[in-house]
Structure 1
Amino acid sequence: MTHSPLLRSDQTLFRDPDVFELTFVPEHLHHRDAQVKELAFLISPALRGGSALSAILRGPPGTGKTTTVHRIFTMIREETQRIIPAYVNCRQDHTPLAVYGSIFKQVCGYAPPPTGWHLDDVKEGIVSRLRDRNAALVVCLDDADDLIVAGTYNPLLYQILRLYEKWDVRKAGVFAVTSDLDLNLGAEADSSVRSVFHPTEITFLPYTKAEVREILADRVRQGLYPRVLPKPLLDRIARFAAGEQDVRVGIDLVRQAAHRAEKDGRRRVTHADVTAAARAVTAPALRNRAAGLSAGERALARWIAERSRDGADMASGAVFEAAQEYLPVGKTAYHEHLNALAKAGIVDLVPRTGRGREVRLRYDAGDVAAACRSPDQTCKIPNGS
């Protein structure tokens, strides 16, 4: 008996749509065993009646930092009452009252009253529950760099790490998480914080293409029905996500491609679904990357996009020579701008056999041209910089 290629109105391609949510915590966390073990080691003193140690989790976006913390916190809740973990999203909660309110809710199981309580009341509620359970507190400050922007990073670290001085509780452990590779959270701590904050730095490197594919294959197995996403398309999505160095891009791409097929009533995801989903997923990222470019860099990016779309020679030297007719740019400035485009993740500079490099766009040429379009279309690349 053959199946219709079309879905009935009551059918779906998703076995479990929650698998593709960013908050989903997989049962097995692929390729982060070393980081899980290190965090478990830092927490282990609290299991013996002591205090947990602190850490800084550092790595590019989409490298599993948040998921690793959620996984270790889930393990804690399942296995012991002697530690109470609290996860704080500092992009949402970055004032002292908001951060402590989030900790209170996770420690006590309900939110503090919206009015009538001062910060000390919230703190006292937290430590009272810790004393009742003879438990140690471990706090994750995710996107802790947002606390620096808000001016609350040092005051909050100081207060959390010194709760034990005012109240009879064990010293808390703090996991501070950042995706800003240019930021040193340890160095941002002032002298009063450094006296009690001695973090271990745990690094999260980008996943390789093979690792991304394994992670995505596991999500597809859990989240979609069999044969919905053909293996060649999974390979294509994995290559794309690995190029973006963000596994979340791949997860979102699978979800959007499957939604597109389901909306059309089809049982299989197609190349067209993946292409359309990729444009939807990457458009915001591309716009953000283009926003950080100078006018000259955007002009060069548009020229590269036009040349790539025409199928012309994309050797770096050939691009430079052809650009002379349209963009008055010196050789030094050209290479500076080209390297800036590579650093922004808009182009890849691939070594060629022999000498030189090939300029390859990481996005659709039309999308690059649109994202790099300036309000003033007459902008030129200056000779000097």
Structure 2
Amino acid sequence: MTGDPEDGMLSWDESVFRDEHVFEIDYVPETFRHRESQLESLKYALRPAARGSRPLNTVVRGPPGTGKTTSVQKLFSELRAQTDVRTVRVNCQVDSTRYAVFSRIFESVFDYEPPSSGISFKKLFGQIADRLVEEDEVLAVALDDVNYLFYENEASDALYSLLRAHEAHAGAKVGVICVSSDLSLSVIEELDSRVQSVFRPEEVYFPKYDVDEVVDILRERAERGFHDGVLGAAELDRVAELTAESGDLRVGIDLLRRAGLNAEMRASRTISVDDVDEAYEKSKYVHLSRSLRGLSDSETALVAVLAEHDGEQAGSVYEAFHERTDLGYTRYSEIVNKLDQLGLVETEYAEVEGRGRSRSISLAYDPEPVLERIEG
């Protein structure tokens, strides 16, 4: 891989990357374009916290990869730097129960994790609220991917506890931002009436980026992440075209990184269109990989069974799932519903002669990439 610098080949100690971290999914850019109005709406909701009052509750909705999480992280970072407001972002894909949500809040408030067993929710909640009152702190909680709390039927209980904190503990000031990428989920309508009566959130919508916005964002990311001259205009256009096709900016950011790695594999100083096209074969599954990472063992087992029994009747799928997990039909049905809501499977009801209505289940992806990611 050594070569004359003039021939466009990288030497061993060279890289096409100026800063590879720029292409990580959790990277928060210094300048955040094309989301000015959404950021202003979120600032409006959070501004009371800076004055020592409860922030306004907010629902943030929009398709995946439209800047929702980045916006919240950016504003939370500013709040922490400029005020005494305590901010906590909970990833509900990982922490999908009320207890898990409050354990994450506890960890932020006390800087250590609560005991893994032996502490009731009431005590956990009480210690958090007491500390907030004692320190006279305002707490802003972002429930990121709150749709996962709904899938587990935990959303109403978690929100009720957060929103009623000031009633159980006078002086506790808590505001909630619910972030959802599931456009079929109506966050407010799906909550219990007891929660609806106190929630009354502001709503902020994040639409998909248009092609020009995608090009602008990816160009800036490429300029920060790659050395000069690594990514040409034609290659950037190809990345933008594939990103727009997927509808998810995260695909484009991952695509830039993988295309850079492909160029390095060839010991090349520049990215080619072929590097981009080859990278897309993996980058297009960013959403699939992310969804699979958040599944429990039994949920992953059903996805694997569906991949292995692709195209077979629902009955044989259930039998294979039961054999693998020893779980009954009720739990099987619950998992199917969750996978359907996540967009991992597609379900359809049809009339079957002599049997009435029967549900067919199929993967929303080709079996091969699904099994690769489960087994990998």
TM range (shorter): 0.7 to 0.9
Q: Is residue 284 of structure 2 the alignment partner of residue 282 of structure 1?
A: yes
Scaled by the length of structure 1, the TM-score of the pair is 0.72
| C-alpha separation in 2, matches of 1:149 and 1:2 | 55
Match of 2:315 in 1: none
Q: How many corresponding residue pairs?
A: 297
1:47 CA displacement: 2.0
Name which of 180, 188, 191 aligns with 1:189: 191
Match of 2:264 in 1: 262
Q: Deviations over 1:217-254 (max 9, x none)?
A: 11111111111111210111112212221111110100
1:278 CA displacement: 1.1
Residue 67 of structure 2 contacts residue 206 of structure 2 at CA under 8 Å; is this kept in 1?
yes
Gaps of 5+ in 2: 292-305, 312-343, 345-364, 369-376
| C-alpha separation in 1, matches of 2:140 and 2:26 | 20
Name which of 183, 203, 213 aligns with 1:201: 203
Task: Tell me the amino acid that sits aligned with residue 67 of structure 1.
Answer: T
Match of 1:123 in 2: 125
Larger Rg: 1
Q: Which piece of structure 1 moves more, 168-177 or 270-279?
A: 168-177
Q: Is residue 35 of structure 2 the alignment partner of residue 29 of structure 1?
A: no
Scaled by the length of structure 2, the TM-score of the pair is 0.74
Task: Tell me the amino acid that sits aligned with residue 56 of structure 1.
Answer: V
Task: Tell me the amino acid that sits aligned with residue 15 of structure 1.
Answer: R
Q: Is residue 245 of structure 2 the alignment partner of residue 243 of structure 1?
A: yes
Name which of 74, 79, 85 aligns with 1:76: 79
1:133 CA displacement: 2.9
Secondary structure, aligned partner of 1:187: coil
Gaps of 5+ in 1: 296-343, 345-369, 374-385
Q: Tell me how large the CA RMSD over aligned residues is.
A: 2.6
Match of 1:133 in 2: 135
Residue 261 of structure 1 contacts residue 267 of structure 1 at CA under 8 Å; is this kept in 2?
yes
Residue 50 of structure 1 contacts residue 170 of structure 1 at CA under 8 Å; is this kept in 2?
no
Residue 57 of structure 2 contacts residue 202 of structure 2 at CA under 8 Å; is this kept in 1?
yes
Residue 20 of structure 1 contacts residue 219 of structure 1 at CA under 8 Å; is this kept in 2?
yes
> What are the equivalent positions in structure 2 for 1:43-122 lying under 5 Å apart?
43-81=46-84, 83-122=85-124
Secondary structure, aligned partner of 2:179: strand
Task: Tell me the amino acid that sits aligned with residue 62 of structure 2.
Answer: G
1:165 CA displacement: 1.1
Residue 98 of structure 2 contacts residue 155 of structure 2 at CA under 8 Å; is this kept in 1?
no
1:52/1:205 CA distance change after superposition, 3 Å:
same
| C-alpha separation in 2, matches of 1:244 and 1:169 | 46
Runs of 4+ in 1 over 3 A off after TM superposition: 1-4, 283-288, 370-373
Task: Tell me the amino acid that sits aligned with residue 251 of structure 1.
Answer: I
Match of 1:230 in 2: 232
Secondary structure, aligned partner of 2:198: coil
1:115/1:43 CA distance change after superposition, 3 Å:
same
| C-alpha separation in 2, matches of 1:152 and 1:5 | 56
1:202/1:284 CA distance change after superposition, 3 Å:
closer
